[in-house]
Amino acid sequence: MTTVQDQKTVEEFRKPTFPIDPLFINRWSPRSFLEKPVADELLFSLFEAARWAPSANNSQPWTFIVARSVEDQAKFHSFILEGNLAWCRKAPVLAMALSRKTENEKVYKFHAFDTGMACANLALQATAHGLITHFMAGIDAEKARQVLDIPAEYDIQGVIAIGYQGEKEALSEALQQREQPNGRKELSEVVFEGSLDQKVNFTK
């Protein structure tokens, strides 16, 4: 069985240029979930980690709605797009990440950025617990807003599937082809020295 602990699989696809905590490369987004529930305390610790993310003026614009019951998950399934629904039905937990766009009635520019920080914490704590996460942007956001009655002050950032990793073979043939950790751009494509036209000297 391919699990998040299967270091060999991750190392085959991901070669960090500089040494980093294994959490960062071990966190990837599988689609094969076991139909195995996540214990409350384990699940809550993911949101606990999210909670300690930084935000401008400590405004903490993140808000989460979890769907664990059959009824709540059915609501979520009604607005998740078909491509994601094909695999995420097995995930024992779905969580919508919302960002509050206002702070003391003023526009809060960094709501999405800060909520992203909280979600990265969530995903890394999941990895530390041997859980997997998969962020889905592929939802009908307008329908989600209606179904869950989400006020206009919140922006919908996506839905996170949370659970235990299942066997690759449990997926459809097409999804099995995609069930592997993906790579990244080179560091030199995303980090610059002083200005965007100046390369960093990354030689060791």
Span 82-141, contacts to a copy of itself by CB under 8 A: 99, 109-110, 112-121, 123-125, 128, 135, 137
Q: Is 29 in the site for a copy of itself (CB under 8 A)?
A: yes
| Min separation Cβ 41 and a copy of itself, Å | 6
Binding to a copy of itself, residues 39-58 (CB under 8 A): 40-41, 44-45, 47-54, 56-58
Q: Is 204 in the site for a copy of itself (CB under 8 A)?
A: yes
Task: Find the radius of gyration of the CA atoms of the chain.
Answer: 18
Tell me whether residue 22 or residue 169 sits nearer to a copy of itself (CB atom): 22
| Strand-pair partners of 33 | 165
Q: Is 193 in the site for a copy of itself (CB under 8 A)?
A: yes
Q: Mapping DSSP to helix (H, G, I), strand (E, B) and coil, where does residue 96 land?
A: strand
Of 30-38, 82-90, 164-172, 196-204: span binding a copy of itself (CB under 8 A):
196-204
d(CA 174, CA 51): 36
Paired tokens of 56? 């401008």
d(CA 204, CA 198): 18
Binding to a copy of itself, residues 7-26 (CB under 8 A): 14, 16-21, 24-25
Paired tokens of 41? 């305390």
d(CA 112, CA 89): 26
Of 1-9, 62-70, 78-86, 168-176: span binding a copy of itself (CB under 8 A):
62-70
Contact between residue 161 and residue 93 where contact means Cβ atoms under 8 Å apart: yes
